[in-house]
Amino acid sequence: MKQSAARQTLAIHLADEAATTALAARFARTLQAGVVIYLDGNLGAGKTTFVRSVLQTLGYEGRVKSPTYTLIERYEAGGLQLRHFDLYRFRDEEEWESAGFRDEFDGHNVCMVEWPELAGQLLPAADIVIAFDILLQGRTVTISAFSNLGEQCLNTLHA
Ligand SMILES: Nc1ncnc2c1ncn2[C@@H]1O[C@H](COP(=O)(O)OP(=O)(O)OP(=O)(O)O)[C@@H](O)[C@H]1O
Ligand SMILES: [Mg+2]
């Protein structure tokens, strides 16, 4: 998981859960096939809340469960294939291959990864990192782009 310097960064205060879901709804509309997104932030910071709102905005109507135990959940919505990882319980590097996780990063799937640091060097680099900080009230979120694809998404978010 090598990461170069961010090309562009956007910091936003999210006063409450509704602000998190509203930002995720805007972000959903910027997504393109193949984008790799890391979601950083402590337990309960809002990573899954964000992904759930992205999926719902794209039209997914089922339940969006946290992949805490399954490590991955797969979705199709809004004309995209999406993969939601939660690597909090990931310990076994061999499982990365055997479970087919490497194959999910195929330049086509949108991959959203909670706890990316737990995959060590196995994980492909992110196009976008969304980092949540827990405040006494609300959150701050910092969205950073690390590639052309990531910058395209951020530019659409600004627009
Ligand atoms: N901007 C916000 N201000 C205050 N509370 C928020 C905000 N956004 C989300 N929350 C709340 O914070 C909690 C976030 O839980 P969530 O499961 O999304 O966290 P997570 O980052 O995925 O944690 P984990 O690492 O355990 O998977 C929820 O209870 C949600 O209501
Ligand atoms: Mg989560």
pLDDT tens per residue, range 99-114: 899 999 999 999 999 9
pLDDT of residue 57: 98
State the closest ligand 1 atom to the C-alpha of 88, by its place in the atom list counted from 1. 25
pLDDT of residue 1: 53
Domains held by the chain: number: 1
pLDDT digits (tens, 9 = 90+) for 65-102: 999 999 999 999 999 999 999 999 998 888 898 889 99
Sequence-ordered list of residues with C-beta below 8 angstroms from that of 23, at least 6 positions apart, any chain: 12, 14, 50, 141
The answer to whether residue 94 sits within a structural domain is: yes
Strand duo 80-86 + 72-77: pairing: antiparallel
The answer to whether residue 18 sits within a structural domain is: yes
The answer to whether residue 92 sits within a structural domain is: yes
pLDDT of residue 92: 85
Instruction: Evaluate if residue 2 carries a pLDDT over 60.
Output: no
The answer to whether residue 2 sits within a structural domain is: no
The answer to whether residue 67 sits within a structural domain is: yes
pLDDT digits (tens, 9 = 90+) for 121-149: 899 999 999 999 999 999 999 999 999 99
What is the CATH number for 153? 3.40.50.300
Q: Any residues with Cβ below 6 Å from ligand 1, and which?
A: 14, 16-17, 19-20, 41, 43-49, 66, 86, 114, 138-139
pLDDT of residue 23: 98
Task: Out of 48, 69, 132, give the residue to mutate to test ligand 1, the one with the largest number of ligand atoms within 8 Å of its CB.
Answer: 48
Tell me the average pLDDT of the chain.
95
Task: Check residue 114 and give left, alpha or beta (phi > 0: left; psi -120 to 50: alpha).
Answer: beta
**Nearest-ligand number for the alpha carbon of 133:** 1
**Nearest-ligand number for the alpha carbon of 131:** 1
Q: What distance in angstroms lies between residue 98's CA and the mean position of ligand 1's atoms? A: 31
The answer to whether residue 3 sits within a structural domain is: no
Q: What distance in angstroms lies between residue 44's CA and the mean position of ligand 2's atoms? A: 7
Does the predicted model carry a pTM greater than 0.95? yes
Q: What distance in angstroms lies between residue 21's CA and the mean position of ligand 1's atoms? A: 10
pLDDT digits (tens, 9 = 90+) for 20-79: 999 999 999 999 999 999 999 999 999 999 999 999 999 999 999 999 999 999 999 999
Q: What distance in angstroms lies between residue 148's CA and the mean position of ligand 1's atoms? A: 29
Q: How many residues does the chain have?
A: 159
Distances 148 to 138, 142, 151, 155 between C-alpha atoms, Å: 30, 18, 5, 10
Instruction: Evaluate if residue 3 carries a pLDDT over 70.
Output: no
The answer to whether residue 1 sits within a structural domain is: no
Residue 77 main-chain phi, psi, to 5 deg: -160, 145
Q: Which domain holds residue 152?
A: 8-158
